[in-house]
Structure 1
């Protein structure tokens, strides 16, 4: 485990991620699985570190922040500027506004923390998409109810995001979410 990964896990533990319930155990266990998935997809180091800490500020779907947004320098010191910028974009994403736009080449992101709109760089948009895929795949893998209730909507989301996903992330989405043909009678 490299220094930044070790620092990130230490910070997550200090902030209670190992005690917060999450599908598949604890939030820390989920974050570590997302990190391992991203690593297996061979994403750049900052993206994997952002995946490990993607819920640090809470998310639109998991409103349990481990750090206040005012503590961005704390996370930045642990994982680096590039990874923290991705974590902020992920946590700040207003999903109801942004997700429908993800079929666009350069979608506008609405920041739920500031209320402002902005655009991500192509690299940060790819990171956002890959982390979203790794996150949702882990959630549905550990909570079949979410798959039953939201699997079709997630398949539609990842189809909209197709151009922003790395190929390993896309293939994992197909494997996890694509509708299966009915077996022959």
Structure 2
């Protein structure tokens, strides 16, 4: 992040945390503590991977509308403009795509360019632009790796499937994200 975008990013991140607190994320139980703690760890992971500001803000707010794996939403989807006013339209679009993903229908073909992305809210499918597909994969990795890091039972149960998923998505992931996937999820050599 360059010196010109840093102040605006910090303001947006602070406003996002204030909104998340207002919506109850700080008091919502989530593996590793609270939902807010998880959201901050996901943003931190994306920052370590040098993700651009919009993706980091999306990581901070990725559960605002709930997800296929965490159905409790903080905001109804019809309040997308409220979230966009805080984190920006690009970051909100990433949050919406992440929240709307029907994982069972989307994950098998996600790595294939032009593969449809299935929306669990509308039941419709669309083909996201390549950048949005990469953002989705990167955010997915940051989210799942946070859970795998803080919960050994989660890692034991889901680690092999997640490693297989991220191996398929390797071309959509940054080098840092892929290295982290291998470090956290790969089974130790026998």
Return the match for 1:112 from 120, 123, 148: 120
Counterpart in the other structure of 1:73: 81
Distance apart, 1:142 and its partner CA: 1.2
- Which segment drifts farther, 155-164 or 58-67? 155-164
- Could you tell me whether the CA contact under 8 Å between 2:27 and 2:35 is conserved in 1? yes
* Structure 1 position 121, deviation (Å): 1.2
The correspondence for 2:146, drawn from 124, 132, 138, is 138
Paired residues of 2:45 and 2:142 also in contact (CA < 8 A): yes
Identify which of 171, 175, 178 aligns with 1:167.
175
Give 4+ residue runs of structure 1 displaced > 2 Å after superposition.
none
Please list the CA deviations of residues 112-139 of structure 1 after superposition, one character each: whole Å capped at 9, or x if unmatched: 0111101111111111111111100100
Report the counterpart of residue 46 of structure 1 in structure 2.
Answer: 54
- 2:3 maps to what in 1? none
Instruction: After TM superposition, give the deviation of residue 163 of structure 1 in Å.
Output: 1.1
| Number of positions where the alignment pairs a residue of Structure 1 with one of Structure 2 | 182
Instruction: Report what 2:6 is aligned to.
Output: none
1:125 maps to 133
1:15 aligns with 2:15: no
Three-state SS of the structure 2 residue aligned to 1:2 is: helix
TM-score, length-normalised on structure 1? 0.96
Cross-structure match for 2:184: 176
Q: Distance in 1 between matches of 2:149 and 2:28?
A: 18
Say if 2:111 is the partner of 1:103: yes
- Paired position in structure 1 for 2:4: none
How far off is 1:107 after superposition? 2.2
Distance in 2 (CA, whole Å) between partners of 1:24 and 1:33 is 10
